[in-house]
Chains A and B, each alone.
Chain A
């Protein structure tokens, strides 16, 4: 092929192509490393006369320039056309996205993070206590001696070696008091166990959250502050709380904390059992004997303990009707969180 033919052929091929990939092929064919133009250039040294070689080089480079210009023009044209093509195309943007393989975080874990963050802001530190616990820490040091009738409040599961499956997170109280110096601000969110048959509202395995605060002049007023603050964070700004007398051997005074039903705002509905209020937490000022058991002088310091059952609170908050949902691993439940 001579130079003129190459030029003519190239320009007509460029003219004919109708897509960018085709155009690339043409470019490669003529201007690529082993393309026609390079081949023609490589034939130049074979010409006998210097003048001819010089002339041929000029001609071929001119042709190369023309081909490049034509390619660039065509490239622009095709790109413009493809934009118009896009304008004419259709695509259903409402079709669901391609889902990544996503798992789920258990609602109690998500709740735990929320609760922990709320109290961390108040300077509470997360602590842990054994699930398999000495009778002393679970009961005795909390003013609940063996055989004492107040033990009827807890239906306890025992190991053969005499240890208890802790019935509440309060087993952390004396442990933490013995390990720290006031002011003490600790919290725990963990599992507890009771001798209880499983049904939609009861479970032998459940969760508790509890805070312990020991300082100078700790009062029922502060207990009120904590209750309001937390229950508003969980149940919404409209929530109100109230105290009722309640007996726990390790606090005095002891109170039950009720929250105004967030669904009916106290009018009484099916969810709150028509009462308008939910019993949601238990609390009180740490009994002086428990402080002493923890190595703290009740003349100098006082303390408060405040706790609630996250399972029940979540059930109320999310309208979950069966506590077993939390513990039986059904993905149809878990994947909703």
Chain B
């Protein structure tokens, strides 16, 4: 809401510069996004929120300033009192559609062009001048917050000589040509103003072209109403016709304010257009049913954190237009008619606080009983894994949750969650995994970083439900699969988990170098070399990726592993070198060697290379150790033989 400073001064004495007023408003009333200078005048731009519809008017803001500066409100016109001799108009309306509907007939109009000061104020407030009759409705709306609409009586009479006006729901499929010259198709949800020939306005949203006032108009029907806010809101949104008027109808409007602003506008029609009221009808609530909100001393003290004397609270509330009575328990507060937002004691307390100044709220430490804090394994593991991966040379990325168009070509849309109102094609589908986000991140960097490591710990959104995933990708390194596998195994080892890797087909991974990752029998994710075609599509050299369900991982991970005492006796180390084809499982062999005898303490892969013939050559180191005595070569001999047999049986050919 834009308000020229001089307009405010009509209603309250202000001596401070506009910038200071803006500052005071922002600390005690409502946000001010700025003060503009237009043609020597300062214009305040307020960010009015839903609860404070009363501030969508010059008078509303002036009232607050008057309360804040303890200055009287001035220039307040009388409530319109329709003279008894005014003719009754034929109007029908229902409370459900319009809480209060009034029509005033103004006759004897003589057109003049709109006076300069009015045009300039409309423009500063962001509206444009149309003609005097329409300009006055907008002017009073800006000043009082109550929208008006003027119909040309002659044009309506041409359609319906009986001049019978009804506020009703539109019939589905009914149409109206609105002021902007467009034909609008209506639904049963919309409220219209209609004569016997059909709609002449979409209530609260826009008038019809056919009954528009113009320079030739000599008699008008002036509508001032309070429509059902939600209905106006739905219609205005559906038709894309949100205006200053419809915006105000969406907020709280009061009958009292309607009558006062009606008084003001009739006065202006008389001053500028020589018009006199000749007919009037009002249907609905003519006053706000008074209601009170109780504010106890205890409540006020609890909310503030400090006892505020009720006498002071009362003073603040009265300045804001509340009627206040002392009761047994505290204060009974009747909000002024324009404050539809005051409903509960907390609302009244807020008024007291902001009038007192929020800077006066005391600082009150939180004092409370210490409780047992439950262990949060997810957070512990998140911190640990993040740190470990960073130490291993991975950079953490945090990427958008969507599947961009360049990734969609690799996915089946029917497997994805789609947005009903996407911002763009790049943000239309939710990502089903982190893989593609990581590929995109790598692609972004590959021209500068021919090799790199990234990871992300965030949610993915497969159709089955959102999942917290840990994904890591490395590219441009030698043997990426084994490199990344080593990283994942180490993450598992630190959480005292033994991860299992089982070859499986995955459309995004290399046809052979692709595995399912398990903890025990539970599948937790995948590890593999990125499918060469996919890597190429993202301009990447050979790359490897893993993606695991992090909630499962952290739930199964252990803080403490098992301890084994260090034997005081020396260990015997022996190396076995052999050739093992890639078709045979090294992991299985190592496992078997490990369990060949209780004297085998550890089995490690010591060396691994490709022979000139292209075969895999492996050296394993076995350590033998007893916890009871030193081992002699003789005692190791039978184990040695078993291991050699195992190697042969599992496809190994001893070297040397």
Chain B's nearest CB lies how many Å from the CB of A80?
36
CB pair B303 A219 closer than 8 Å: yes
Contact of B444 among A108, A109, A326, A328 (CB under 8 A): A328
Question: Given A149-B250, A334-B397, are A329 and B361 neighbors across the interface (CB < 8 Å)?
Answer: no
Question: Given A244-B27, A288-B346, are A116 and B379 neighbors across the interface (CB < 8 Å)?
Answer: yes
What is the bound-complex CA distance between A197 and B427, given in angstroms? Answer: 10
Known contacts A122-B366, A123-B373, A332-B448; can you find 11 more A-B pairs with CB under 8 A? A159-B419, A185-B368, A204-B427, A221-B362, A242-B27, A245-B30, A252-B346, A252-B350, A256-B31, A326-B398, A329-B444
A103 within 8 A of B: yes
CB pair B368 A219 closer than 8 Å: no
Q: What residues of A have a CB within 8 angstroms of the CB of B393 in the complex?
A: 100-103
A157 within 8 A of B: yes
CB pair A149 B379 closer than 8 Å: no
CB pair B368 A123 closer than 8 Å: yes
Q: What residues of B have a CB within 8 angstroms of the CB of A242 in the complex?
A: 27, 358-359
**Residue-by-residue, is B24-42 near A (CB-CB < 8 Å gives 1, otherwise 0)?**
0011111100000000000
Q: What residues of A have a CB within 8 angstroms of the CB of B358 in the complex?
A: 242-245, 255
**Residue-by-residue, is B250-275 near A (CB-CB < 8 Å gives 1, otherwise 0)?**
11000000000000000000000000
Chain A's nearest CB lies how many Å from the CB of B538?
12
Interface residue ranges of A302-337 to B (CB < 8 Å): 302, 326-332, 334-335
CB pair A104 B395 closer than 8 Å: yes
Question: Given A103-B392, A105-B386, A221-B363, are A160 and B418 neighbors across the interface (CB < 8 Å)?
Answer: yes
CB pair A334 B396 closer than 8 Å: yes
Question: Given A103-B453, A105-B396, A221-B363, are A285 and B229 neighbors across the interface (CB < 8 Å)?
Answer: no
**Residue-by-residue, is A237-271 near B (CB-CB < 8 Å gives 1, otherwise 0)?**
00000111111010011111000000000000000
CB pair B421 A104 closer than 8 Å: no
Q: What residues of A have a CB within 8 angstroms of the CB of B391 in the complex?
A: 102-103
B347 within 8 A of A: yes
Interface residue ranges of B10-26 to A (CB < 8 Å): 26
List 4 tightest A-B contacts by C-beta distance, closest first. Answer: A221-B305, A221-B364, A219-B305, A329-B441
Q: What residues of A have a CB within 8 angstroms of the CB of B230 in the complex?
A: 147-148
Chain A's nearest CB lies how many Å from the CB of B240?
15
Q: What residues of A have a CB within 8 angstroms of the CB of B420 in the complex?
A: 158-160, 162
Contact of B419 among A160, A244, A249, A335 (CB under 8 A): A160
Interface residue ranges of B426-455 to A (CB < 8 Å): 427, 430, 437, 440-441, 444-445, 448-449, 452-455
Give the A-B pair count, Cβ closer than 8 A.
Answer: 217
Interface residue ranges of A123-148 to B (CB < 8 Å): 123, 125-126, 130-132, 147-148
**Interface CB pairs A-B, < 8 A, 22:** A102-B393, A113-B383, A120-B373, A130-B466, A132-B417, A147-B230, A148-B230, A149-B50, A157-B423, A160-B417, A204-B400, A205-B401, A217-B302, A220-B305, A244-B358, A247-B50, A249-B51, A252-B350, A253-B350, A285-B346, A302-B303, A326-B398
CB pair B399 A329 closer than 8 Å: yes
Interface residue ranges of B338-390 to A (CB < 8 Å): 344, 346-347, 349-350, 353-354, 358-359, 361-366, 368-371, 373-374, 376, 379, 383, 386-387, 389-390
CB pair A183 B346 closer than 8 Å: no
Question: Given A244-B31, A334-B396, are A109 and B350 neighbors across the interface (CB < 8 Å)?
Answer: no
B461 within 8 A of A: yes
What is the bound-complex CA distance between A221 and B31, given in angstroms? Answer: 22
Q: What residues of B have a CB within 8 angstroms of the CB of A332 in the complex?
A: 448
Question: Given A132-B461, A245-B350, A247-B50, are A183 and B369 neighbors across the interface (CB < 8 Å)?
Answer: yes
A27 within 8 A of B: no
CB pair B346 A222 closer than 8 Å: no
The number of residues on chain B lying at the interface, defined by a beta carbon within 8 Å of a beta carbon of chain A, is: 86
Question: Given A105-B390, A204-B427, A330-B444, are A222 and B364 neighbors across the interface (CB < 8 Å)?
Answer: yes
Chain A's nearest CB lies how many Å from the CB of B271?
35
Question: Given A105-B396, A183-B369, are A125 and B374 neighbors across the interface (CB < 8 Å)?
Answer: yes
Chain B's nearest CB lies how many Å from the CB of A265?
17
Chain B's nearest CB lies how many Å from the CB of A240?
10
Q: For A257, give the chain B residue with the smallest CB separation.
A: B358
A213 within 8 A of B: yes
Q: What residues of B have a CB within 8 angstroms of the CB of A327 in the complex?
A: 398-400
What is the bound-complex CA distance between A106 and B390, given in angstroms? Answer: 10
Question: Given A102-B390, A103-B453, are A221 and B361 neighbors across the interface (CB < 8 Å)?
Answer: yes
A278 within 8 A of B: no
Contact of A104 among B30, B302, B390 (CB under 8 A): B390
Chain A's nearest CB lies how many Å from the CB of B520?
25
Q: What residues of B have a CB within 8 angstroms of the CB of A175 in the complex?
A: none
Q: For B394, give the chain A residue with the smallest CB separation.
A: A103
Q: For B420, give the chain A residue with the smallest CB separation.
A: A158
Q: What residues of A have a CB within 8 angstroms of the CB of B305 in the complex?
A: 219-222, 224
Chain B's nearest CB lies how many Å from the CB of A134?
13
Contact of A226 among B26, B302, B366, B453 (CB under 8 A): B366
Q: What residues of B have a CB within 8 angstroms of the CB of A334 in the complex?
A: 395-397
What is the bound-complex CA distance between A149 and B368, given in angstroms? Answer: 38
Among B29, B251, B344, the one with the most A-chain Cβ atoms within 10 Å of its Cβ is B344
Chain A's nearest CB lies how many Å from the CB of B451?
10
What is the bound-complex CA distance between A149 and B49, given in angstroms? Answer: 10
A199 within 8 A of B: no
What is the bound-complex CA distance between A195 and B365, given in angstroms? Answer: 38
Interface residue ranges of A151-174 to B (CB < 8 Å): 152-153, 157-162, 165
Q: What residues of B have a CB within 8 angstroms of the CB of A161 in the complex?
A: 417
Interface residue ranges of A79-106 to B (CB < 8 Å): 100-106
B178 within 8 A of A: no
CB pair B50 A103 closer than 8 Å: no
Contact of A125 among B353, B376, B452 (CB under 8 A): B376
CB pair B417 A159 closer than 8 Å: yes
What is the bound-complex CA distance between A41 and B31, given in angstroms? Answer: 104
Chain A's nearest CB lies how many Å from the CB of B63?
15
What is the bound-complex CA distance between A32 and B420, given in angstroms? Answer: 86
Q: What residues of A have a CB within 8 angstroms of the CB of B27 in the complex?
A: 242, 244
B121 within 8 A of A: no
What is the bound-complex CA distance between A108 and B359, given in angstroms? Answer: 31
What is the bound-complex CA distance between A157 and B427, given in angstroms? Answer: 10
Among B30, B303, B449, B466, the one with the most A-chain Cβ atoms within 10 Å of its Cβ is B303
Q: What residues of B have a CB within 8 angstroms of the CB of A176 in the complex?
A: none
What is the bound-complex CA distance between A287 and B346, given in angstroms? Answer: 8
What is the bound-complex CA distance between A224 and B305, given in angstroms? Answer: 10
Chain A's nearest CB lies how many Å from the CB of B26?
6
